[in-house]
Amino acid sequence: MTDKILYQSGRFRLSFAWYDLWVGAFIDTAKQKLYLCPLPTILITVNLSS
Q: What are phi and psi of 31, to 5 degrees?
A: -95, -5
Q: Is 43 exposed, middle or buried (0-12, 13-18, 19+ CB in 10 A)?
A: buried
Separation of first and last alpha carbons in the chain? 26
Reading phi first (left if > 0) and then psi (alpha if -120 to 50, else beta), residue 24 is in left
| Residue 50 scores a pLDDT above 80 | no
pLDDT score at 42: 97
Mean pLDDT across the chain: 95
Rounded-to-integer distance, Cα 42 and Cα 36, Å: 9
- pLDDT per residue as tens digits for the range 27-49: 999 999 999 999 999 999 999 99
